Amino acid sequence: MKCLLVQPIHADGIAILRDAGIDVELCPDADMETVASRIKGCHAVITRDAGLSARAILASDVLKVIVVHGAGHDGVDKAQAAAKSILVCNTPGANAQSVSELALGLALAAARLIPAADRAVRDGASGFREAGMFHELAGKTALIVGWGATGAGLGRMLHAALGMEVLVHSPRSADTGPFERVATLADGLGRADLISLHTPLREETRGLIGTAALALTKPGAILINTARAGLIDEAALAEALLQGRIAAAGLDVYTPQAPQGPLSASQRVIFTPHLGGTTPEALQRVATGAAGHVLTALSGQRPATTIHPPQDAIDPADRAAAVETVKVAIMEGGARHG
């Protein structure tokens, strides 16, 4: 059996696959034409932020499972996967600590304009300290939008380290612990000094922070996004920064043109190149989790984080065939490693 890696993963994940007798192939390029040309004969795919397009999925012949290395799965064409009875699952929570820590770092850097201050010093520019507006976060109010592992982790950090009051807007989360749940986004925006986005990109969350939402924010609020670019209307954010309604923004995700567009004109915007889950610790946890999902799926079982298709969309005959195939592959792999 064979697993195609659309992008590189930690060596520990590869070792798990190979020890189970799975052949592992790293795609030479993550563009979907290349992936489509390499996907035949692959029973599993692990992809990171490149996703997996309908074109690539259509080109597959024996594909059983697509595993997303991380939480965000909007780059995978789940409708096409479901049409071919291919499981799609992700690895949420495995990189949550790293992403939460980055969000905290961005919040502090935005509050004190640290990157702009660094540039001013390096450029020999005087007067930055006198001209800038800097803020403390201690004792203020944070709105966490999306209360998964990452959002909850940040909320706990802000409360424990800075004594911040934490508000939570997360309609799908059943338990927000000791923190106040706000019924609507608007209820939280008007109270928050810091807004941090941790919700998946869905149709109902696309453009969540746009002109209407920004008009409701507390003047001088700081906005952080380590989730998905599509959550923010970037043109509306640029206007809110000009007006001073948003004091600063820290963005780990954004559209490709943003660093050269209107947002780039402001020294109060921080861009980082999707650093959220790129610590060695997180990469190891996500890779081993992804490899485990591959083995689970190829044994005919359903990984706990399966997104699509529904349980009854998997043909029983396909499931039985997958079980037998992986048993043979594992036995052969054991013989090779013995």
Q: What is the pLDDT of residues 269-296, one digit of tens each?
A: 999 999 999 999 999 999 999 999 999 9
Q: What is the pLDDT of residues 221-266, one digit of tens each?
A: 999 999 999 999 999 999 999 999 999 999 999 999 999 999 999 9
Q: What is the CATH number of domain 2-94+279-337?
A: 3.40.50.720
Q: What is the pLDDT of residues 90-114, one digit of tens each?
A: 998 999 999 999 999 999 999 999 9
**Distance (Å, rounded) from C-alpha 291 to C-alpha 297?**
10
- The pTM of the full predicted model, rounded to 2 decimals, is 0.84
Closest by Cα among 97, 118, 162, 100 to 136: 162
User: Given a cut of 80, is residue 338 above it in pLDDT?
Assistant: no
What Cα–Cα distance (Å) separates residue 225 from each residue in 130, 150, 286, 305? 28, 12, 21, 24
- pLDDT value at position 127? 92
Q: Are 57 and 17 in contact (CB under 8 A)?
A: no
User: Given a cut of 50, is residue 195 above it in pLDDT?
Assistant: yes
Domain ranges within the chain, ordered by starting residue: 2-94+279-337, 96-271
**Distance (Å, rounded) from C-alpha 59 to C-alpha 37?**
8
Average pLDDT estimate for 187-211: 95
Whether 2-94+279-337 shares its CATH topology with 96-271 is answered yes
User: Given a cut of 90, is residue 121 above it in pLDDT?
Assistant: yes
Q: Please state the CATH superfamily assignment of the domain spanning residues 96-271 in this structure.
A: NAD(P)-binding Rossmann-like Domain (3.40.50.720)
- pLDDT value at position 74? 84
Tell me the pLDDT band of 124, cut-offs 50, 70 and 90. Answer: very high
- pLDDT value at position 309? 62
- pLDDT value at position 142? 98
- pLDDT value at position 149? 93
Phi, psi of 170 (to 5 degrees): -155, 85
Tell me the pLDDT band of 327, cut-offs 50, 70 and 90. Answer: very low
